[in-house]
Amino acid sequence: MDFLTWIVLGAIAVYVLQGIEQRRRVRLLGAHLAPTQVEKLMGGLIEGYMRALDEKDVERSKQVWAILDNNEKALADQLKRLANSFSEESAVETRVSTLPLALPYFDRLMPAHTFDMREALKLHAQAVRDACAPDDVDLATRQRMAFTMTAELLLLQHTCHWFCKTRTIASMRLMARQKTTYEQVMQSVAPATLRAYQRLIGKVA
């Protein structure tokens, strides 16, 4: 076989192996998400914030924000449960390559260029807990906190897609679904989240 044929065969092999690895990751994360209501609560909160911000009636607005307050706390509890469950997996199974493109099993061959999804979920669970609105906060502050919480949730989504696919695909999905960039989300989360996240991923931008 000539050189071009070997290149084509190599590319096919990489594609097949990467597909196998990505499906494994989807199944792994999905198995831990399934017993929780994390995805449902996240979607409900992001949509709920938009409704609350558009609500003109003061009393109705208070009712909507009260529901969102409860849902935030419920999500924080569910994320803690998810992080605790996922922490039982081995480091070999939870390493994530920091390369923008995927190479099969690179995370196992070069662990120095990876981050641990177990630690990422713990970070996100704490960030969401910290972003929950306290009782009796004024409306302006509550709206600002909703903006921060939305950014925290979008960054969590990005991390999950990164784990299952690649950083590039995760960023593309973020732009397609939320019309915002990975960089914008990182700058919108709480400063403590940003610092911890950058340490975790090795300041990959």
In tens, the pLDDT along 100-110 reads 766 666 666 67
Q: Two tokens at 19? A: 């597909």
Domain ranges of the chain: 3-201
Residue with token string 């397609």: 176
60 close to 81: Cβ distance less than 8 angstroms? no
pTM, 2 dp: 0.89
- pLDDT tens digits along 74-93: 999 999 999 999 999 998 89
Contact 100, 167 (CB under 8 A): yes
Give me the pLDDT at residue 205, please: 46
